[in-house]
Amino acid sequence: MKAVLLVAALAAVSACGGAPAADARKPLYWRDPMHPSYTSDRPGKAPDCGMDLEPVYDEPQAAATSPAVTLGRVERGSVQRTLKTVGRVVADENRVFPVVAGCEGWITRLEPGTATGDRVRKGQPLAVVSGREYTTAERSFLYALKTAENPPPALPGDEGAPALTLLEARRFLENLGVGPAQIQELERTRQVALDVTLTAPASGVVVARGAYPRQRYDRDVELFRIADLTHVWIVADLPADDPTEAPAGARARVTPAGRAGIDAIVSGALPRFDPASRTAKLRLEADNAALTLRPDMIVDVEIVVAVPDVTSVPATAVLDAAGGKQVFVEKGVGRYEPRAVRVGRRFGDRVEIQEGLAPGETVVVSGAFLVAGEQQRRRRD
């Protein structure tokens, strides 16, 4: 009978591929493999299914290599943050050219293609005007021209005076809005023209027009405003309490509604604080050769900001906990310690850690909720 039992035992061991190695660790308790909420302080059978209770150890060997739990490092260094906001397109103030009346007069005729929104080229006629001061300035120029060509005997110390007078007379005509072509014509014909043609001082787009046919205007009235829109500014709104600074030269992307984005950079100008909206007005600059961006257009703005010396972890490592945030720090193979942390800004898929972790530590990145659940269950048990 004993021989039969020995043969049966050896056969069972052989069928299983050998006897299982004994685990030298002491189990904390035993639990039902089908219903882990049922536990026991000794081995036995599960009351619901009759299966053997499985032991639970203080350091589960499978936890460190479980595909449900992945680890990551606490890092310190430069990270990138994308600031998303809106902005308004404005003309580059260095490329705005007003046509201001240098004296009072009348609009005799407006030339075609000079309405608001029309594109004009440098020297293009804008309007024909007339007035007493225009003819007076022309006569002064012709007198200075004649004097320069036939100068009177110079007195001691007056050398060069006639040439200077001609230069002043030419500059006065230019300040009144008389174009170079008409000044050359005046110089050639030596005839005063009753009508004067105002020309565009630069190529660009007419962004404002204050001139109308038969209009009488006073000195210093703006008749036209021309802007070169091949390079524009974008004034973006940033929260005044945002600690992130967008340094000069930072890359940005400006996207009008329904159109492709355009590259831009942060200007070196200091942001201007708007007390009404409690926002900082940040200036960006963009090349705009295709004139996609127009003044007063509202655009989406994304600014890529590099922030140096930030301690961060993957955002998935941070869990909500009672009273704040926490992460699980690896303390050995399969062992994790909950640690309260103070978080800061979000940088893509990483989050800033202001307090609670040191660079180089290893934390649970994926499956942290499983670790948290296991530790809660242990506390209940």
C-beta atoms surrounding 293 within 10 Å? 22
- Starting at the edge strand found earlier in the chain, the sheet holding 216-217 runs 195-199, 125-130, 105-110, 216-217
Question: Tokens at residue 248, please?
Answer: 């000069």
Distance CA 219, CA 221 (A): 6
State the DSSP H helix or E strand holding residue 282, giving kind and residue range, or none if neither.
strand 279-287
Determine the pLDDT at residue 53.
Answer: 79
C-alpha closest to that of 119 among 197, 207, 231: 207
pLDDT at 16: 39
Q: What is the pLDDT of residues 184-200, one digit of tens each?
A: 999 999 999 889 999 99
CA distance 19 to 30: 21
Report the pLDDT value the prediction gives residue 136, as an integer from 0 to 100.
92
Residue-level pLDDT at 242: 66
Structure-token match 């659940």, residue found: 373
Q: Is the predicted pLDDT of residue 27 greater than 90, yes or no?
A: no
Contact 28, 37 (CB under 8 A): no
Instruction: Supply the mean pLDDT for the chain.
Output: 83
Q: How far apart are CA 233 and CA 252, in angstroms?
A: 12
Average pLDDT on 352-361 reads 94
Mean pLDDT across the stretch 324-332?
90
In this prediction, residue 5 carries a pLDDT of 35
Radius of gyration in angstroms for the set of CA atoms belonging to the chain, rounded to a whole number = 41
Query: Residue 298: what pLDDT?
Result: 96
Query: Using CA atoms, how far apart are residues 50 and 35, in angstroms rounded to an integer?
Result: 12
Confidence class for position 313, pLDDT limits 50, 70, 90: very high
Q: Which two tokens stand for residue 259?
A: 């159109």
Distance CA 293, CA 374 (A): 56
Contact 35, 51 (CB under 8 A): no
Q: Which tens digits make up the pLDDT trace of 132-149?
A: 999 999 999 999 998 888
pLDDT tens readout for residues 70-99: 889 999 998 888 888 999 999 999 999 999
More confident residue, 240 or 19: 240
What structural domains does the chain harbor? 2-56 (no CATH), 70-79+309-380 (2.40.420.20), 82-92+229-306 (2.40.30.170), 98-227 (2.40.50.100)
Q: How many CA atoms lie within 13 A of 332 on its CB side?
A: 5
Q: Is 323 exposed, middle or buried (0-12, 13-18, 19+ CB in 10 A)?
A: exposed
pLDDT for res 218: 94
Phi, psi at residue 202, to the nearest 5°? -160, 165
CA–chain centroid gap for 295, Å, is 19
Dump pLDDT digits (tens) for 32-75: 665 655 677 788 887 766 778 777 765 444 444 445 688 899 99
The whole model's pTM is what? 0.65
- Range with the poorest average pLDDT among 175-179, 279-283, 289-293: 175-179
CA 98 → CA 224, 247, 313, distances in Å? 6, 32, 54
Provide the pairing of β-strand 75-91 with 119-120. Answer: unpaired
What is residue 11's predicted lDDT score, i.e. its pLDDT?
Answer: 38
Q: What is the mean pLDDT of residues 339-347?
A: 90
